[in-house]
Amino acid sequence: MAVADLHGLLESTLHGLGYELVDVERSGRGRLIRVFMDKPDGIGVEDCAAVSNHLTRLLAVEGIDYDRLEVSSPGLDRPLTKMADFIRFSGEPVKLKLRMAVEGRRNFSGTLRGVDNGTLQLEVDGKLLSLELSNLGKVRLIPKL
């Protein structure tokens, strides 16, 4: 099963269980499936165990071959990947890496100020940058400790 197909299957399944699929990683040979999930009040060990048990049965029924399944929260430095993430975490500090340099830089840290018409607004040192969503590589929250 292709990663995109697996992503769709897991997204609909987790949504039905009351969770949000944040990301799915599959090792090069597909032997490891790593699932990152979230919910508004956070993820606990019990959530991970329940979802892991459910997904183990689902993957068996779907005939998906793998050796190991890992289910966890996205962590304090949660990746932002979807439009909904950029809207939900507007006002939060983020660090991001661009695919192509802007103003001679690919790495930025700043405050997410929103997203509109395919452009992410990032405040860096009091200056507002407009960055094309198509140019975003990795975007992660900066943990508040």
- CA dihedral angle for residue 51, residue 52, residue 58, residue 60, rounded to 10 degrees: -170
Distance from C-alpha of 90 to C-alpha of 103, rounded to nearest angstrom:
23
* One-letter amino acid of 64: I
What's the gap between Cα 80 and its chain centre?
5
Can you give the pLDDT of all 145 residues of the chain as single tens digits? 666 688 999 999 999 999 999 999 888 776 899 999 999 889 999 999 999 999 999 999 999 989 999 999 999 999 998 888 999 999 999 999 999 999 899 999 999 999 988 899 999 999 999 999 999 999 999 998 7
* pLDDT the model gives residue 3: 64
Q: What is the CATH code of the structural domain delimited by 3-72?
A: 3.30.300.20
Tens digit of each residue's pLDDT (9 = 90 or more) over 5-25: 889 999 999 999 999 999 998
Give the pLDDT of residue 145. 78
Tell me where in the chain the CATH 3.30.300.20 domain(s) lie.
3-72
Q: Where in the chain is the domain with CATH 2.30.30.100?
A: 83-141
pLDDT at 1: 62
**CATH number among 2.30.30.100, 3.50.50.100, 2.60.34.10, 1.10.3720.10, domain 83-141:** 2.30.30.100
Mean pLDDT of the chain: 92
Q: For residue 23, what is the enclosing H or E element? A: strand 20-26
